[in-house]
Structure formats: C-alpha cells, structure tokens
Homo-oligomer: A and B are copies of this chain.
C-alpha cells in the first residue's frame, strides 16, 4: 500500500437483523471498511466485499476484539467493529473504550466513532405496539461482569418505581437460573396481571412473540435471543379481532394534572 492512510475504528450496530433497519451511516461504514471485526453471528450477516478482510471470532472475547480493532487502526486500517442492535447498549462500544482506557496512550489519538443503531428493545416495542410509551429501565441480566446482588437490587428498585422493564440477555445455556430469580423478585412487587412479553429474534425469519402475564409467564421461555419485557402497572393490551393484540403503555399516569 502506498502513502499514509488515516486509521479509523467505527463501532457499528447492525440492528436486530433485517437490512431495512440498518442506517445509511452504518451501511456506508461497512462498505468503506478495510477490515471487519466481530463475533461470527454478526459478521455472517454482512455482504462479502472484494479486498475487505473479515476477522470473525467466538463470542465472549469482546476486549480482545476491541484491541485487535485498535491495533489495526493504528496501522492505518479502516476498521468496522460490528455487533447486533445498537453498539452502545450491551454491545461493543463499551468494550472499545475500556480497551482504549487500558491501552497505550497513542490509542487516545485514534479516530474512533460509534454509529447509533436500532437496539432490540426498540424493535420489539415497535413490533408489539408501544410498550415503552412511558418511563422504562433497561437491564442486562447477565452477571458475567457484575455481581448478581447489584442486578437484584436494580430489579427490585425498578419494579417499585413502576418502570417498564426491558431485560436483555435474560438467559443462556450457561446462565439458566437468573431469569427465574428475576421473575421471583418482580412477582413479589407487581400484580400477577402485569403484562409480560417474550420477544424472540424480532425482525428475523424465526421471530416469535409470546404475550402473557407475570402470574402465568414461564421463565423457561427466555433464551439468548429473547428481549424480555415486563410492563408497568398501566401497560395493557388492545385486543383485535384477528392477529396478536397490541401492547401499549399509556403516556398518562393516574393523578396527572
């Protein structure tokens, strides 16, 4: 390669899956990248381009992927770090900044950009109606990087505050237990009639949406690809003659002026 190129890292969210939710900015970054780095579930979604190198890897080594991206950018490469949804919500952006914070001083001078995207809870909400129409909390149920007691406290306080809860990574093969405990915490604080939705792989061919109640929900339905929504007190269904009912949370809260 001749001349000096300006390296760059772009942290790109692919959205929940379909091309129709990928922003033009993200598409452009993918088209321009010399190198694409990501967990292979995500790199597999990207169109192959001549001259572009795809570095795929297993899940779980986010910090290694982030360092790899920063090293390549230091050498003048234009790197796209890809993950699902929005990169800033339980995806790669935080890992990239952690790598910069711990890494060589020179990495702070690199051109690093995060490109916003459609995160899973927004896609699930749109599919259902408007369940996030009032105040909500977004919690990653994985305790790989935070103590379970912190998650417990957050669930309990959020349930008391009558937030709608959007729970990411509710369960995996390695963590089947947490989602049961999460349900136990919320069941102690919210009515059994509270709306619960398991929104699985929204926007993808195997999409599955299960609408139930806190009293009747079976936590076993949650897996790695599920966005779990637990409604506020006011979250409710609008029944339709045919098709799934809509789920929405009114803007109005009892007692408003």
Chain A residues packing against B (C-beta within 8 Å):
15, 19-25, 28, 62, 86-90, 93-98, 100-101, 108-109, 112-119, 122-123, 125-127, 129-140, 143-147, 149-151, 153-154, 157-158, 160-163, 238-242, 246, 248-257
| Alpha-carbon separation in the docked complex, A130 to B161 (Å) | 25
Given contacts A246-B97, A248-B97, contact A122 B125 (CB under 8 A): no
Report B-chain residues with C-beta under 8 Å of the C-beta of A160.
157
* The residue from B113, B147, B239 contacting A253, defined by CB atoms under 8 A apart: B147
A97-B130, A108-B238, A130-B96 known; A122 and B86 CB under 8 Å?
Answer: yes
Known pairs A23-B23, A248-B97; A123 contacts B130 (CB<8 A): no
CB distance from A253 to the nearest CB of B (A): 3
The 3 closest A-B pairs by CB, nearest first: A94-B133, A146-B253, A93-B130
Tallying the copies of this chain within the complex gives 2
The minimal Cβ–Cβ distance linking A249 to chain B, given in whole angstroms, is 7
Given contacts A21-B24, A109-B242, A154-B163, 7 further A-B contacts (CB under 8 A): A20-B24, A90-B133, A114-B129, A116-B126, A119-B122, A146-B252, A154-B162
Q: Which residue of B lies closest to A86 (CB)?
A: B122
Asked if A246 contacts B100 (CB within 8 A), the reply is yes
B118 x A117 contact (CB < 8 A)? yes
Residues in B with CB closer than 8 Å to A157 are 157-158, 160-161
Other-chain contact of A250, B25, B94, B139, B154 (Cβ < 8 Å): B94
